Chains A and B, each alone.
Chain A
């Protein structure tokens, strides 16, 4: 497992060697702040909470995380470096983990860079710091699950566009299942118990409690198990 370290470092720093990191960070921060201030009306809501910021995360992640994840394996396959990587003394699982953890750390960095928002909140009002903390925790766990799915779809193809579209679609389904507008729509056709069951597979269903300050084992387990499950499939998909 100690082989993960050098791989992690190479991958993480790799984001900053190319314009990917800067473009991503700027788009993510500008996008999330724009939505928080202009659409959710952060100031006018007169509420010392970050709901207006975190409510957008499932939707923002939908586009931005496939953009980070699509290159994970597809690029290695296209440029042939996958052959180099898998003839170095590492196991497939170590390679999968090293790349995943690096990308996750990068996403965590992007999420935590919203810290001026917390400072503003603390300066202007008296937020519930517990809720702020659980919201960040939920967002980070959810980002891991998105990324797991994207890493898996990336391993299935050497074409980054295919990888992007595929992961966008899978994540879209996983968000929609728990979106009340969507479930209201499908409950006209499907029995309620089935709609409820499907909602249990959604990112949103398991993310929303975090925004209320509730950390339940089932929600944490959902994100962790989805991540682990996709990474295991990812390793299997890479075995030749």
Chain B
């Protein structure tokens, strides 16, 4: 579904992403791990077509993002880091705008999509509230609702559980897991347990390079008995 080949992005003299390659199939939940600044967000932004890669390609459902970014954007649901949204709009207005620009022009089709997204993310109680008055957890869910709205075949989620309380974290994880069967999901996280809880594959990225690409079970088996963060630390020491 999502195929990434040799993506490279350089900022000034710093090579933020240095030849990252991987593929995600339908049904996969790929956990993207790495220290801050390792290149996770940059890689995701290149897949979504927000940033232009210096070299390499990313394809979604067979469409190359550098050749036809708009077609790729249509197939993707993307939750940017810290879930930006237009704060002066209410949750309902915002999602309705997203639905309209996502091609649901008829009023009832738009309402159906918005209602579905609101129900999935449990946002009905704040439907008429402006986004800037919401707490961080609600804002994060608005971002998630926006990404899920058009029921995309591929999801890119940059730290989807950031800022949520433990109950909400579990809820979002369950939601992602329940949708995963028909979708390809890439999510980045700092929480190693999250990877174990929901991901079918883990990629660790360090200094712009992929250092690990395997199942969570094999990742744990690298050092039997060790804590996950110890394994993580030994793999990403170069970033410190």
Contacts and interface: CB of A to CB of B under 8 A. Distances in A.
Nearest to A79: B84
Contact of B85 (A3, A84, A90): A84
A216 interface: no
Contacts of A6: 97, 100-101
Given A6-B97, A6-B101, A240 B82 contact: no
Contacts of A84: 80, 84-85, 146
A18 interface: yes
Contacts of B70: 89-91
A44 interface: no
B188 interface: no
B223 to A, nearest CB: 37
A88 B49 CA distance: 10
B98 interface: yes
B144 to A, nearest CB: 13
B153 to A, nearest CB: 14
B85 A89 contact: no
B87 A10 contact: no
Contact of B74 (A14, A89, A91): A89
Contacts of A89: 70-71, 73-74, 101-103
Contact of A81 (B71, B73, B85): B85
Contacts of B48: 87
Interface in A8-45: 10, 14, 17-18
A87 B80 contact: yes
A87 B86 contact: no
A125 interface: no
A239 B52 contact: yes
B173 to A, nearest CB: 23
A240 B88 CA distance: 27
24 contacts: A3-B101, A14-B88, A14-B89, A17-B88, A17-B89, A80-B81, A80-B82, A81-B84, A81-B86, A83-B80, A84-B80, A86-B50, A87-B49, A87-B76, A87-B78, A87-B80, A88-B98, A89-B70, A89-B74, A89-B101, A89-B103, A90-B73, A239-B52, A240-B50
Given A14-B88, A87-B50, 20 more contacts: A10-B86, A10-B89, A17-B88, A17-B89, A18-B88, A80-B81, A81-B84, A81-B85, A83-B50, A84-B85, A86-B49, A86-B50, A87-B73, A87-B76, A87-B78, A87-B80, A88-B102, A89-B71, A89-B74, A89-B101
